Amino acid sequence: MLCKLKPGTKTWLFILGVGVVSLAFGVVAHLTATPEEGHIAMLFGMFTGFGAGLMAVAVFGLIRSRLISPRKREEEEIAKQDERTLAVTRAAYSVGFFAGAAVLVVLIFLFTYLDLRLASYLCLGALYVQMAALLIAYRVYNRKM
Amino acid sequence: MNNRLEELRTQRGIKQEELASLLRVSRQTISSLENGRYNPSILLALKIGRFFGCTVEEIFILDEEDQNHAL
């Protein structure tokens, strides 16, 4: 049955499902949290907000995929596979990667200055993960190309 | 790299949108190619060549600077 759906519908349904699960988990967990656990309640609130946000995006996407004209859909399909668009996206990702790494480095110094060691170590860990991902991706693509 | 894409397209009386649709790329790609802001992949260059009935070298021309880099 899912095969007969319009293109992209499966993805929106998946996002909607994740949103529903996150929202339900957030609401139920928030109701069962004890009042002393303020930060945990806040975390569950974040799950609720995250779920609601995903659901809103998915519903908007589903409605749009139903209403969009076939010509516009074709144009969007072409734009998605357009080689210049892909090149622009890759260049933007590169800039985003270096901006993210720079922000992490600044945060490590800032958190150390503020004596927030755990946050500092978490940022350092995230920076190592980012660098490791870069190295692995480089090696994989170097072998492929 | 210079190219004769705009010249060939206008000779045939085709709009950028039409050429883009035929080659299955965006109109912005055609515009960027014509302005020399973007160099196509070999695949797209071959498709363009086939569409206009020319070789790739007849459409895309290496300028002096590119040739010096290549040598």
ipTM of the complex: 0.83
pLDDT at A7 over 70: no
Mean pLDDT value across residues A11-20: 94
Backbone angles phi, psi at B60, to 5 degrees: -105, 125
Using the beta-carbon criterion (under 8 Å), do A83 and B25 form an inter-chain contact?
yes
Using the beta-carbon criterion (under 8 Å), do B25 and A84 form an inter-chain contact?
yes
Adjacent-strand bridge partners of B2 = B61
Using the beta-carbon criterion (under 8 Å), do B24 and A84 form an inter-chain contact?
no
DSSP string, A111-124: HHHTT-HHHHHHHH
Confirm if A138 and A97 have CB atoms less than 8 A apart: no
Structure confidence at residue A5 (pLDDT): 61
Q: How far is CA A12 from the centre of its chain?
A: 14
User: For A86-105, b where at least 16 C-beta lie within 10 A, e where not — what string?
Assistant: eeeeeeeeeeeeeeeeeebe
Using the beta-carbon criterion (under 8 Å), do B26 and A87 form an inter-chain contact?
no
Taking contacts as CB-CB distances below 8 angstroms, the residues of chain A near B20 are 78
Q: Which residues of B touch A (CB under 8 A)?
A: 20-21, 24-26, 28-29, 32, 38, 40-41, 43-44
Structure confidence at residue A78 (pLDDT): 87
Residue from A113, A1, A9 nearest A61 by CA? A9
Cα angle value A69/A80/A138 (rounded, 5°): 165
pLDDT at A20 over 70: yes
Work out the pLDDT band at A71, boundaries 50, 70, 90. confident
d(CA B58, CA B66): 16
* pLDDT (tens digit per residue) in A31-57: 887 767 778 888 889 999 999 999 999
Using the beta-carbon criterion (under 8 Å), do A85 and B29 form an inter-chain contact?
yes
d(CA B47, CA B55): 10
pLDDT along chain B (71 residues), means of 10: 92 94 93 94 95 94 74 58
pLDDT at A144 over 80: yes
Structure confidence at residue A8 (pLDDT): 72
